[in-house]
Amino acid sequence: MKFLGILAIFGLVLAGCGKPDAPPAPLIVHEAASALPAKAQPKLRTVKLWIGPEEITAEMALRGIEIQTGMMFRTNIPENEGMIFVLPGPQRAAFWMKNCPESLSAAYINTQGVIEEIHLLEKQNTNSVVSTSDGIRFVLEMKEGWFQRHNIETGVVVRTEFGSLAETFLQRR
């Protein structure tokens, strides 16, 4: 009787070891690693921004791959140049610094163009810096310490040469 029980269990195990209908999907970790950019992206189109009284030039990361690549692999970031990321909708923003050899400062900005949070993004840090607000629509990355050096704090409004951030980026979509 014990032999028949063992034989039955062995048969069930073999039945589950048949050839799968399709090859197993690759691990997500490998997909994400192979999808990461391997070099800096070319300079993106720029827009003039006013952050309080300060004027800067910002590259515009508007599409998925531009947002994903961001400032990866970039060095020697000029003092009054940065990159503005236009997110697909209001969200709890999360940025990391994989493949970024320079630390940056990032302003997390709501739909109305108001800076809600300012964060240090440390070079090569693969931990996401997540916003406390779930209403972030734009992120502006600048040289490390830029906001502090220019006395820019939360509550300051960011505008473009064409009007508000919403008028510039959201009405064209």
Residue 17 in domain? no
Tokens of 91: 């969200």
Q: What is the pLDDT of residue 172?
A: 58
- The model's pTM is 0.79
How do residues 101-154 score in pLDDT, each as one tens digit?
999 999 999 999 999 999 999 999 999 999 999 999 999 999 999 999 999 999
Residue 6 in domain? no
Q: What is the pLDDT of residue 17?
A: 37
Q: What is the pLDDT of residue 36?
A: 78
Residue 44 in domain? yes
Q: Domain count for the chain, please give it.
A: 1
CA-nearest of 115, 112, 121, 109 to 152 is 115
Tokens of 18: 């048949």
Q: Which residue has the higher pLDDT, 2 or 103?
A: 103
Residue 105 in domain? yes
| Range(s) of the domain holding residue 69 | 39-170
Q: For position 61, which CATH number holds?
A: 2.60.120.1140
CA-nearest of 72, 49, 75 to 60 is 49
Residue 124 contacts residue 100 (beta carbons within 8 Å): yes
Q: What is the pLDDT of residue 26?
A: 32
Of the pLDDT bands very low, low, confident and very high (cuts 50, 70, 90), residue 97 is very high
Residue 29 in domain? no
Distance in angstroms (rounded) separating the CA atoms of residues 101 and 94: 19
Distance in angstroms (rounded) separating the CA atoms of residues 51 and 98: 27
Distance in angstroms (rounded) separating the CA atoms of residues 13 and 16: 5
Residue 14 has pLDDT above 50, yes or no: no
Residue 146 contacts residue 82 (beta carbons within 8 Å): yes
Residue 159 in domain? yes
Residue 157 in domain? yes
**DSSP bridge pairs for 105:** 120, 142
How do residues 37-84 score in pLDDT, each as one tens digit?
889 999 999 999 999 999 999 999 999 999 999 999 999 999 999 999
Distance in angstroms (rounded) separating the CA atoms of residues 70 and 92: 18
Residue 102 in domain? yes
